[in-house]
Structure 1
């Protein structure tokens, strides 16, 4: 384990390599180490698959409504359909937060030296159910507005970054761990998340976690089979189906890897210890810009 003073580089710590190759190397290390932790607890993969199943059922109702009432805005029931779509979005966001909280809870059990089960994760999420519900409803709406503001213009993105100190995804990185582990409410968890980020990694962070970039590259491998399956007609449709299944499995895998890494970074921010065999240099610079 390695400790450094919060917000400062240790005297013996060399400056980070900033090239894309070096950043991808750190991302690969973060991903591989998270996968090794998952290999010790493979049953945790059940949690994101539950999320996918429940999310699928949620949007199935939307699809059935489209088939019965037509597509908006041409449908005379467009108002209802738009409301149903927004409700499905909120439910999807809640399911994502709930099962990610379960992954976080199970990962924290592993961090403490235990052997987590699926029920350990579910119980951890249930213990903070109300906080997760409130947070997911607020984050789904506020986060969407922030993202739309950032997408519409560079100035909007700078305003959001100035308000939050970083992008929305980074600013909220430790909200679920603080709610699950520390048992605090959503607003305090949001403030706590921003404080941990500022104290450990500085006031302004940009980019995506290294694991996100690695999985984005893995996702891209499914593009060629998917396109081939679509343009090739019925004879090659199986390629498109295979690509979709590949993406679903990969998204479930990413969820667990992301949860493990977030718990590791949270522990590093609070205790200045590199757990699970992670390289402290990679934890000091986990983002790819």
Structure 2
């Protein structure tokens, strides 16, 4: 069987084939990034205006800067707002991919309109997943108050929170297509995603995370170019090239992953592989539990046969 990265490359190529037909899908991650950047900028401005320029050296204990009420309250609000904006534009992208797989031609306006219609399910889900994403940060901020407990409690809580985040991201991998297609609430969508995950247990689930590794590989040439310019003394140009390249990679990979999620959802719910993904190994991305158990039994049987034949 081909390696996980080889499969991911095929799935990414299939996603790219869809993207070539609808390059406008790139607009949604780009708009999401721009909106998130604007929110961060407004938050920074408001915090500075409200605190007359609060910074890490303006409090009695600089290390506790993040515990200032105005800072962590605005931080939480900003994080949740960015989550809503990100999910909104991701939903628009997901809808566009769905339209394409149905044989239609999506437009930016039609996708944004569809995402707007789904705000009643997008906002609650964004708040839920955003709150889950804040858990590690909240635990880090609570670390000061945990010093009276055994030394291992703080690190253990951090590890548990990180593991929970990873499990959460895997189990809810198909929530966005469910929100777009089935338009169910956050809890029902999470349960539905878990059901689909159980029905199609991931033998090569690593392929999901390999998209991130693929993005890292694509980012390397831009980072090398940025380093070359910086080493030659053109630091500003190098930083600019690196930043622009990374933004382009982030937008491109977010689009490919969004297309892949919709394709996987359609395969998991209908059993049919979308046109561009035929022959790309989508069927192998997730294997049923029964097949997985059967393969494990077959491997054990072969090992026993080999062991008995060696004597």
- Short-chain TM bin: 0.7 to 0.9
More helix per residue:
2
| Aligned equivalent of 2:294 | none
Does residue 33 of structure 1 match 2:14?
yes
1:198 positional shift: 1.0
Question: Does the Cα contact within 8 Å between 1:105 and 1:125 map onto a contact in 2?
Answer: yes
| Aligned equivalent of 2:258 | 259
Looking at structure 1, the residues matched to 58 and 229 of structure 2 have their Cα atoms a distance apart, in angstroms, of: 30
1:36 positional shift: 1.1
RMSD of aligned Cα (Å):
3.1
1:159 positional shift: 6.9
| Aligned equivalent of 1:211 | 211
1:139 positional shift: 0.6
| Aligned equivalent of 1:3 | none
Looking at structure 1, the residues matched to 228 and 72 of structure 2 have their Cα atoms a distance apart, in angstroms, of: 33
Q: TM-score, normalised by structure 2?
A: 0.74
Question: Does the Cα contact within 8 Å between 2:203 and 2:285 map onto a contact in 1?
Answer: no
| Aligned equivalent of 2:174 | 174
| Aligned equivalent of 1:69 | 53
Question: Does the Cα contact within 8 Å between 2:202 and 2:285 map onto a contact in 1?
Answer: no
Looking at structure 2, the residues matched to 92 and 158 of structure 1 have their Cα atoms a distance apart, in angstroms, of: 20
Higher Cα Rg, which structure: 2
- The partner residue of 2:126 within 124, 136, 140 is 136
Question: Does the Cα contact within 8 Å between 1:98 and 1:125 map onto a contact in 2?
Answer: yes
Aligned 1:11-30 pairs, distance under 5 A: 16-17=1-2, 22-30=3-11
Question: Does the Cα contact within 8 Å between 1:69 and 1:75 map onto a contact in 2?
Answer: no
| Aligned equivalent of 2:183 | 183
1:30 positional shift: 1.0
Of 265-274 and 211-220, more deviation after overlay is shown by 211-220
Q: Across the two proteins, how many residue pairs are aligned to each other? A: 262
Q: TM-score, normalised by structure 1?
A: 0.79
**Bigger relative contact order (CA 8 A; separation at least 6):** 1
Looking at structure 2, the residues matched to 89 and 159 of structure 1 have their Cα atoms a distance apart, in angstroms, of: 20
Aligned 1:1-289 pairs, distance under 5 A: 16-17=1-2, 22-64=3-45, 65-66=47-48, 68-72=52-56, 74-75=58-59, 78-145=68-135, 152-153=155-156, 156=160, 160=164, 167-201=167-201, 205=205, 208-228=208-228, 235-279=234-278, 282-286=281-285
Deviation digits for residues 60-92 of structure 1, max 9, x if unmatched? Answer: 123334585232473489321222222221111
1:46 positional shift: 1.6
Q: 1:155 to 1:87 in 2, by over 3 A?
A: closer
